[in-house]
Structure 1
Amino acid sequence: MTDASIQTRTDSGDAQFGDYVALLKPRVMSLVVFTAAVGLLAAPGSVHPFIAFFAVLCIAIGGGASGALNMWYDADIDLIMKRTQGRPIPSGRVTREEALAVGLTLSGFSVVMLGLASNWVAAGLLAFTIFFYAVIYTMWLKRWTPQNIVIGGAAGAFPPMIGWAAVTGDIALESVLMFGLTFLWTPPHFWALALFMKSDYKDAGVPMLTVTHGRKTTRRHVFAYTFPLAVLAIGLAFTSVGGPIYLTVAVILNALFVKGGWDILRRDEPTSEADGYKVEKRYFAFSLLYLFLHFGAILAEAALRPWGLGGW
């Protein structure tokens, strides 16, 4: 797919405000906002509520900027994949040049304002996150290696670390473990999606694991990742951000996640096709709840701590 063919579809000039919002991947941004806020609220110390709000806003804008840059660069494959054909650029509502301008402008704004509002450690982490997602993942890893999701998952794992740094000005074991939780969660989450997206990634030439190594291998990888993820997730309970609430949630969720990975491993393609990939779709949906509830439990521990109820 050439740039010219994409540009032909993007000269309609009828972009609405919502189309520019869609460039920022608002559903992904919601996860960024939540995990960043948890990292900020769980950190030792405190900041003024306005500074806290503005810091999370800047992290959200930076995450949205990454999304816009991703859509700018991936416009050619977004036009091919059924899952992404409705995005603003392939659907012809926004031009690639506009997406690039939005992404670059918001990137600079979010980093500078976060540095001025909180500290430059947090701003530096945000800048690196944007660079990692837009350049390392989107421009390099995504089209080059089936490990694209494994390595590229780091980009989505930084928000709680940035939120933590916005308060403390540094990086600590707790923030690294929150990073690791999202980092190890990302591969089984996206590989479960790849299992029922069928030919989308192959048609677009994206070397997803399902394309390069087959679906059976992908199922093995999904199951294999549940074990280090469970160890890290449960281990987080014994740090300063954990406690009995988090431990209970982590044990239950990881038992279910490992069981779900085992169910996926046991299935073959004829069975999955026959029921419309019911198990894989359910596992993908549960993976979203899995991450939300882990960070929600960290937030609950932080909220109860001032009353002597959170933590150990």
Structure 2
Amino acid sequence: MSDTHVSDFDREAGFGDYFALLKPRVMSLVIFTALVGLVVAPVSVHPVVALSSLLFIAIGAGASGALNMWWDADIDAVMKRTAKRPVPSGKVTADEALGIGVALSGMAVVMLALAANLVAAGLLAFTIFFYAVIYTMILKRWTPQNIVIGGAAGAFPPMIGWAVATGGISVESVLMFALTFMWTPPHFWALALFMKSDYEDAGVPMLTVTHGRRVTRNHVLGYTIALAPVALGIGFTSIGGPVYLAVSAVLNAMFLMGAWQIWRRDETSAEADGYKVEKRFFRLSLSYLFLHFGALLVEASLRGFGFGGW
């Protein structure tokens, strides 16, 4: 076999490349938060309905990821952390990504409507539209507030899960939405603080690029302060309880301390130690959301055994 044939074979897309197109890491968070929204709801759901609904929500999330990679292929190719994604690396064509994204979007919404209800399907459809069009095509390249407004797309899954169970929206589901929505800016801005060159090279107007790291540090602290009462407030609703409240209190104390440390730093000291504080805060932010929703699952389990809650 010639070298040319070997090279062409190596560039052929495999199952892993098409799966990567769906952003599996993001999908896993979507599935988990949707599961929590479904489980903590006051209405029980048949296991078959629950599992099929989660599958279609996951497919919808994957469809959003494929559409995002289709549209963002040009800037993904410039940024170090995204250059190896399926489309910029040439393993999957842009047309394939678009076709997969559109097909999976339609299938996910229609099947969720059939498996659960129209409210849940409507929320999923709006989530896909918001992420693919409002965030990816409009906000991301237009405003430094891209991640603030666009964060709504990642905040809808627990509301969708709640709607699968109840057929509606409530204070509890809105607060779960708000928890993810308010968490998103400090999470991504912490990343941007030590990945600024990527966004500069790609021409993405992240806050660090348009207003500088000092302003970004101010915003990280401000949003973290605003996030704390939202997170703690869930503990006093019907889905909260002492376990959740204890977990949330510890996590928010740690998060606030981390944001304070980020705010106090200047760029000279941050660059000198390789942005260790910012990277530590970013890692904590990954656990922050997972542990909050995990605590809600614990509360739901305890209530199922006659414990937990207020």
Return the offset for 1:12: 7.8
Contact 2:196 2:209 in 1 (8 A): no
Q: In structure 2, what is the Cα distance between the partners aligned to 1:211 and 1:151?
A: 17
Partner SS, residue 84 of structure 1? coil
Q: Given residue 199 of structure 1, which amino acid in structure 2 is its aligned partner? A: S
1:45 to 43, 46, 51: 43
Contact 2:193 2:208 in 1 (8 A): yes
Q: How does 1:100-179 map to 2 (within 5 A)?
A: 100-179=98-177
Percent same amino acid among aligned pairs?
A: 72
Corresponding position of 1:6: none
Q: Find out whether 1:196 has 2:194 as its counterpart.
A: yes
Corresponding position of 2:60: 62
Partner SS, residue 123 of structure 2? helix
Contact 1:13 1:94 in 2 (8 A): no
Q: Given residue 31 of structure 1, which amino acid in structure 2 is its aligned partner? A: L
Q: Given residue 305 of structure 1, which amino acid in structure 2 is its aligned partner? A: R
Return the offset for 1:198: 2.7
Corresponding position of 1:186: 184
Q: Given residue 237 of structure 2, which amino acid in structure 1 is its aligned partner? A: T
Contact 1:136 1:152 in 2 (8 A): yes
Q: In structure 2, what is the Cα distance between the partners aligned to 1:232 and 1:225?
A: 11
TM (norm. structure 2) is 0.96
Corresponding position of 2:95: 97
Contact 1:142 1:149 in 2 (8 A): yes
Corresponding position of 2:254: 256
Return the offset for 1:13: 5.7
Corresponding position of 1:229: 227
Q: In structure 2, what is the Cα distance between the partners aligned to 1:218 and 1:110?
A: 37
Corresponding position of 1:71: 69
Q: Given residue 270 of structure 2, which amino acid in structure 1 is its aligned partner? A: S
Residue-by-residue CA offset, 1:196-239 (whole Å, 9 max, x unaligned): 00311011110000000000000000001111100000011000
CA RMSD of aligned residues (A): 1.2
Partner SS, residue 91 of structure 1? coil
Q: In structure 2, what is the Cα distance between the partners aligned to 1:292 and 1:62?
A: 21
Corresponding position of 1:244: 242
Q: In structure 2, what is the Cα distance between the partners aligned to 1:270 and 1:54?
A: 52
Q: Report runs of 4+ in structure 1 exceeding 3 Å deviation.
A: 10-13
Residue-by-residue CA offset, 1:160-184 (whole Å, 9 max, x unaligned): 0000000000000000000000000
Return the offset for 1:50: 1.1
Q: In structure 1, what is the Cα distance between the partners aligned to 2:128 and 2:217?
A: 30
Q: In structure 2, what is the Cα distance between the partners aligned to 1:11 and 1:269?
A: 46
Corresponding position of 2:290: 292
Residue-by-residue CA offset, 1:58-83 (whole Å, 9 max, x unaligned): 11110110000000000000000111
Return the offset for 1:273: 1.2
Contact 1:11 1:95 in 2 (8 A): no
Residue-by-residue CA offset, 1:137-164 (whole Å, 9 max, x unaligned): 0000000000000000000000000000
Q: In structure 2, what is the Cα distance between the partners aligned to 1:302 and 1:198?
A: 41
Partner SS, residue 85 of structure 2? coil
2:305 to 303, 307, 310: 307
Partner SS, residue 136 of structure 1? helix
Return the offset for 1:274: 1.1
Q: In structure 1, what is the Cα distance between the partners aligned to 2:31 and 2:45?
A: 17
Q: In structure 2, what is the Cα distance between the partners aligned to 1:196 and 1:227?
A: 21
TM (norm. structure 1) is 0.96
Q: In structure 1, what is the Cα distance between the partners aligned to 2:140 and 2:162?
A: 28
Return the offset for 1:310: 1.8
Mark the runs of 5 or more structure 1 residues left unpaired by the alignment: 1-9
Q: In structure 2, what is the Cα distance between the partners aligned to 1:287 and 1:207?
A: 22
Q: Given residue 54 of structure 2, which amino acid in structure 1 is its aligned partner? A: V
Corresponding position of 1:282: 280
Corresponding position of 2:3: none
Residue-by-residue CA offset, 1:235-276 (whole Å, 9 max, x unaligned): 110000000000001111001101100000011111111111
Return the offset for 1:11: 11
Aligned residues: 303
Contact 1:12 1:92 in 2 (8 A): no
Contact 2:37 2:161 in 1 (8 A): yes
Corresponding position of 1:266: 264
Q: In structure 1, what is the Cα distance between the partners aligned to 2:301 and 2:125?
A: 29
Cα distance change on mapping 1:229 and 1:33 into 2, 3 Å = same
Q: In structure 1, what is the Cα distance between the partners aligned to 2:116 and 2:63?
A: 19
